[in-house]
Chain A
Amino acid sequence: MDEKQNGLLDLRGVSCPMNWVRTKMVLEDMEIGEKLEVWLDDGEPIRNVPRSIKDEGHKLLKVSPVEDYFRVVIERG
């Protein structure tokens, strides 16, 4: 099951910890060095998911605010 579309995973409206679970499942199917963009809500999601990304050894490359959510670029570690 690959739910990302064109390297993008829209997790707006998805709360913790499901947003991280879904990110993790997608990352697991990717090659090392491959990039994934996720969209996360402000508040808990933007605070928690990047931390999990770091803990699991992936790289967070860029965070860009867009209206009321964030676009986060991750490199599979």
Chain B
Amino acid sequence: MRKKTVDVRALKASGFIRQTENEYFVCRLRVPGGNIVTEKMVQAAELAKKYGRGYCHFTFQQSIEIPYVKLDDMDALKAELDGLGLRMANCGPRVRAITACQGCKVNPYGRVDAPGLAAAADEKYFGLDTPAKFKIAYSGCNIGCPNPQENDLGFHGMVEPELAPELCNGCTLCVQLCKSRGGESLVMNKETNLPERDDKRCTYCGECIYCCPTNAWVVKRIGHAVYVGGKHGRFPRWANRVADFVSDEETFELIEKCVAWYNQNSKRGERFGTAIDRLGLKKFKQEVLGDKYTAAKEWDVHGDRPKGVHYRVLHSWDPEDDE
């Protein structure tokens, strides 16, 4: 009997990934931004019952996987998926499904529509070939749950506040919340009874705008911080923050520019961050960013913490503990 030959690489690109046991494949479904309508979720579950072993796996890239699909069943499963409009994700050296948190519509800390942008970007850029895997994440705020600093290209929402002094009643709530969130950029001016903002210490989280009982804090600028070259794995690399306050449209533009630069400058298997290290961040910035975007604020290595800030946390609670 002739053995059936399988092009594992091509299968990987289409979203079927070989398992430890050679005859089984994982079917990876595409869930950009982590949002999926319940109907499709039920359909995926039914297919996992029919073709797999009755369970699904949620990947770290927010995809839903159906494990234990037999080689012989793949075509039938693919046909059913196509019929239902369930799209498959991918694996291998290309732009992966784009991830996001819940964003501003759901999460009160969110400042931008992260899942909406992730879904739009995914429509445009999913599956583009790159030298190695290329992961993109959108976070709604600078808490950064989707780990923008550990993706090849990451974004998080940021807001610059501005005070409308005539509306402020001097309640000090913003000052208290700024401190408890580690920013410590606001202090009350005792003479004017108004909060004053130290831009050097501001993390642009927007909490003052969100909390203000009299709407005295307003949005001056809103946009995304841009991180490039992050990854985890055996040799993790913390991303470089290269620009601040880029617009929604500019995040798409930057995806295009980064992917193009990466394809031009890197060879197969080299991750984006490694290419930036090899060629120099300066060269990357010159060639990709030019002088078009607002430069990232020069902060301490880990992106969000101005040097010399003392963290006075009144209580050990932190929004990240609530996950």
Contacts and interface: CB of A to CB of B under 8 A. Distances in A.
Contacts of A46: 173, 176-177, 180
A51 B173 CA distance: 11
B171 A62 contact: yes
A42 B178 CA distance: 12
Interface residues of A, number: 19
A68 interface: yes
Nearest to A65: B176
Contact of A68 (B176, B210, B214, B314): B314
Contacts of A68: 314-315
Interface in A24-77: 41-44, 46-47, 50-51, 53-54, 59-65, 68, 70
Report the 10 A-B pairs with minimum CB-CB distance, sorted nearest first.
A43-B317, A42-B315, A60-B213, A42-B314, A63-B173, A54-B213, A63-B172, A60-B171, A43-B315, A68-B314
Interface of B: 169-173, 176-177, 180, 210-211, 213-214, 314-315, 317
30 contacts: A41-B315, A42-B180, A42-B314, A42-B315, A43-B180, A43-B315, A43-B317, A44-B317, A46-B173, A46-B177, A46-B180, A47-B177, A47-B211, A50-B173, A50-B211, A50-B213, A51-B210, A51-B211, A59-B169, A59-B213, A60-B169, A60-B173, A60-B214, A61-B169, A61-B171, A62-B171, A62-B172, A63-B173, A65-B314, A68-B315
